[in-house]
Structure 1
Amino acid sequence: MTAPLRRWLTGAVAALTAAIVVVGPAGVAAADPDTPSGHGHANDDSVLLGDALETVTRGYLQAEKKLEKSKKRQLRLELRLDQANARVEKLRPQVEQIAIESYRSGRISTVAVLLESSSSGSFLERVTTLEELNMINNDKIGELNAARDEAAQAKAEIDAEVAEQEKQAKTMRKQREETEKALSLVGGSRLPGNGLVAATSPRAAMAPGRNSDGSWAPEGCTQGDPTTSGCLTPRTLHMYKEARKAGFTRFTGCFRTGDIWEHPKGRACDFSLQSSGFSPAYTQDQMLYGNNLTAFLIRNADRLGIYYIIWHRNIWFPSTGWAGYSGTSDHTDHVHVSLL
């Protein structure tokens, strides 16, 4: 294994084992009638990011092993080719000499040679000599042809191995790209929990207020906040609606006074892990909900105009990814999202 591949594989495995969270609602199956809204069970048929990462990692390792074996076979075949070519070069002068002698002698026929014998002893001697000469000539020509055939076969097999290596290298590139893409969907590997996260999330509609250069225009707190009696910016309200559309319908609080950050500006929401109020994530269901909501927001960060996300002692910025967070709240009871 080459050093760059080893470094990449180590990073991918580390990212996978550090990782990430579970299957989520992320907007699909309808909730069980016996459970509150937003508490739907995970869909057993959904594709899980952890499973996808494991599959591509196994595929990468398998392709890498095949590539190594192919290179070893190629080395053996190249040795065979060198040996066959050496035999050809050794036999070629001998066969050429046979051809020259045959031309000079005018290819005397077997019958003519035998008729020249003057006695029975001479006859038998000529027969033996002729057979030996023919045998030597045939053997040399046969040896040369066999060596040429061996060289041609070895060359064909080398070409096949090179094609196989190109195929496996392509597979490895694809598996690497899929792994990196899968990890990028959740912004890296700092999300809490020992489970998995859904391999896909709904695609959010583009938020309003984006400039032609890709920047986001400033917005005032002009829209009514559905979660309080306060106000929200159009972009924040859009994000709130898109999250609910994706299945994240548990208790949410957006506008509030009392701090200098984004809530009083109508640019932030706190998504609880339960149907009413806030409490830390004590259950697997609550952890999954928070993880999958976070994954949805990260996957759509560019479309929603997200500034940052805080969840379970970690903070995520589009420009830097995940980092540890130790503010006044550890954010284990809700997912905080601020908008630009």
Structure 2
Amino acid sequence: MTPTRPRRRHAARLAIVLAAALLALTGLAPATPALAEPNEGSSKTLKQLRENLDAAAKGYLEAQAALEASELNQKALAAELATAEAELGELRGNVAAYAAEAYKTGKLGMIGLMIDGTKPGSLLSKASAMDRMTQRDQSKLRDYRTRKQEVTAKKAAIGVQVKLQQDALKEIDKRKKAASKALAVADGRDSSGYINPNSPLAKPAPRNSDGSWPKETCSVNDPTTSGCITPRTLHAMNQAKANGFKRYVSCHRSGGDGEHPKGRACDHASATDGFKNSSATGGDRTYGNNLAAFYVKNASRLGIMYVIWFCQIWVNGAWKRYGSTGSSCGDSPAGDHTNHVHVSIL
């Protein structure tokens, strides 16, 4: 009698192979990554570069938020000023008419009108009428003075907002220069980068009532690891997923420097089956291009400090060449970020 156990084992192996082949053909690849989280490198120079970029990008975002808030305040003040000036113009006409009337009649003229009565009680009624007219005119004068003070105050407030905007623009320029200086050690030349005007709009992350970014810590569970991330990082990742970018992601990292240990950064694999030790091509490259462009377009909505993809970095409103590994682009897929999109969040 021929034993059946080997045949069963052979059949089981064959079933596993066929199942794997079927998954590959249908695109239903396993959710686990092909490789562990990418080793983006760590050295004294790279650590200093990341710290400098973090400081420059953070300052830029804060200055940008201050500029946006000031511009909104100025717009609201300008609308209030226009209303106050229109009311002031109307009151100015009323006051001019009152002044002309007072000049023509004077107090004696008013008394004469009061005395020139033909019926009993006319003197009392005219005195009462004059009293009401005086109260009315004094009220108009008070309104005029109040509106004039409001107009003066709003003009001064607009002047303050203009000064705040000038300071914010100076700070933005300062931070841009700081980022360029930091990137000089990493081949930070200007680059066209990845821009797509048709990228979808993300839902904005919560801000303070004055338009500034709330201070956040690594306080919520990271769904991609066993670590933690900030609420804003979670929001950015969820917005990417909501707009179709659903491939493997890894955020928190316990070791190393940069934003990962702080829960402020995520790595998005470009390949369908996770991080691979090879540069993206074809559809994987297109996926990375589109994801990088999505984060760039929504930087002010999501609080994006910088995006790194395919040997380029977007920081402070511009794309730059990025060669942190010192190798030719693609020699180190993880360090050159040619197999994943890195995003850092304020």
**TM-score, with length taken from structure 2:** 0.41
Q: Which structure has the larger Rg over C-alpha atoms?
A: 1
